[in-house]
Chains A and B, each alone.
Chain A
Amino acid sequence: MSLPIIVMFWGSVLTSTALTVVVIYLLTKYASALEDLNELKIHDRRHEKAEDIVGEAQDQSTEIVADFKEKLTHVTANLELEAQKALLEQVAVFKTELTNEAKKASAETTAQIANSFEGVETELEDYKRARMTQIDAEVQKMITPIAKEILGRSISDSEQEEVVKRMLTKYGQST
């Protein structure tokens, strides 16, 4: 009943060898699995680190964005105030210039009207003077011969002598 020793020997060797192979194989797998596990852990840590970095970055960016928004709001507010101020200044300057221009235009118009009026007035005055002179000349032309005749007739010789004496006295005083 007993198995030959040789068989038993060789059976044990084979078994042992097979077991050894199996063990080696398992060990190899185990080592590979450990490496994978390690890599996985490293990866996880890296991932965590990355997440941390991303989280920090997000936080920082949020802060930056908030800060930027605040600054932007401040700048915008200042800009609005400055723009408003500048606009008001421009409006004031424009208003002043417009008023000055309006005054200037008004003065020029008034002067032009005055000049025109003066011109018309002068022309009217000249016409009036010329017309009056003409009328006077015509009246004189009519009156003079009559006056001469009446005067010549109405002065007596003694009055004529008196007139001449007065004229000579006056003439003598003037020369």
Chain B
Amino acid sequence: MDNLLSQVYTTQDLADLSQSLTILENSLYRTDGVVPVGVREDLYAAFVKAADKRAFLDGWTKILEKAETVNVTLSFSPKEAFVLDLSAWVKQKYGPQAVLQITKDESIIGGIILEKDGHVTDLSIENMFDNMNYSQQK
């Protein structure tokens, strides 16, 4: 670790390394089960066979552009099985185009906060405490 920088020679190397770190960070909650291996192989095969590879990629890109992000805040780092369960619940709730964007925030103590298109559903323990205090103050 101490000699990491000794192996970074150029700014491009630094950018590549930063990009790799970003990729690693973004893949923290990635699951291998979301895109089954079969689907991936079919995609590759279809891509190889496609006469117009640009049109093929544009088509898939448009499909992926339809994805709707659901921001999820948890107080812990979820395991892969839990992420899959959570994704299934979110897709059932908001539709198959719903994609999880998971963030960890210990201050919510427990529970979950869901946010989609500006609409927040706060099911966190912290919020419960706040509501309890508010109702008692009333």
Binding site for B on A (CB under 8 A): 133, 136-137, 140-141, 144, 147-148, 151-152, 155, 157, 160-161, 163-165, 167-168, 171-172
Give chain B nearest CB distance to A149 CB in angstroms. 9
14 pairs across A/B with beta carbons < 8 Å?
Answer: A137-B137, A140-B133, A141-B133, A148-B109, A148-B125, A148-B126, A152-B106, A157-B78, A160-B75, A165-B85, A167-B123, A168-B112, A168-B123, A171-B121
CA distance A141 to B132 in the complex (A): 11
Task: Out of B93, B133, B137, name the residue touching A172 (CB < 8 Å).
Answer: B93
Decide if A137 touches B136 in the complex (CB within 8 Å): yes
The complex places the Cα of A123 from the Cα of B137 at a distance, in Å, of 19
Contacts of A136 in B (CB 8 A): 136-137
Report if B74 contacts A (CB, 8 A).
yes
User: Across the interface, which residues of B come within 8 angstroms of A152, CB to CB?
Assistant: 75, 106, 109-110
Write the chain B residue with the least CB distance to A170. B123
Determine the chain B residues whose CB is within 8 A of the CB of A155 once the complex forms.
109-110
Closest to B130 in A: A144
A171 vs B125: C-alpha distance when bound (angstroms): 14
Question: Residue A164 contacts which of B74, B132, B137 (CB distance < 8 angstroms)?
Answer: B74
Known: A133-B137, A140-B133, A164-B112. 7 other contacts (CB 8 A): A137-B136, A148-B125, A152-B75, A155-B109, A160-B76, A168-B89, A172-B89
Question: Known contacts being A137-B137, A144-B129, A148-B126, is A161 close to B82, with CB within 8 Å?
Answer: yes
Which residues from A are CB-within-8-Å of B138?
Answer: 133
Q: Which residues of A contact B79 (CB under 8 A)?
A: 157, 161
A135 closest partner in B (C-beta): B136
Is B31 among interface residues, defined by CB-CB distance under 8 A? no
State how many angstroms separate the Cβ of B136 from the closest Cβ of chain A.
Answer: 5
Closest chain B CB from A141 CB (angstroms)? 8
Q: Nearest chain B CB to A153's CB is how many angstroms away?
A: 10
Closest to B81 in A: A161
- CB nearest to B85 among chain A residues: A165
Residues B55-106 near A (CB distance < 8 A): 74-79, 82, 85-86, 89, 93, 106
- Per-position binary interface string of chain B over residues 36-65, scored 1 when its CB falls under 8 Å from any chain A CB and 0 otherwise: 000000000000000000000000000000
Chain A residues within 8 Å of B125, by CB: 148, 151, 163
- When chains A and B are docked, how far (Å) is the Cα of A155 from the Cα of B109? 9
Chain B stretch 110-136: residues in CB contact (< 8 A) with chain A = 110-112, 121, 123, 125-126, 129, 132-133, 136
Q: Min CB distance, B35 to chain A, in Å?
A: 23
Taking CB as reference atom, which chain B residue is nearest A144?
B129
Q: How far is the CA of A41 from the CA of B135 in the complex (A)?
A: 135
Considering the chains assembled together, what is the distance between the CA atoms of A163 and B123 in angstroms?
10
> How distant is the Cα of A160 from the Cα of B112 in the complex, in angstroms?
9
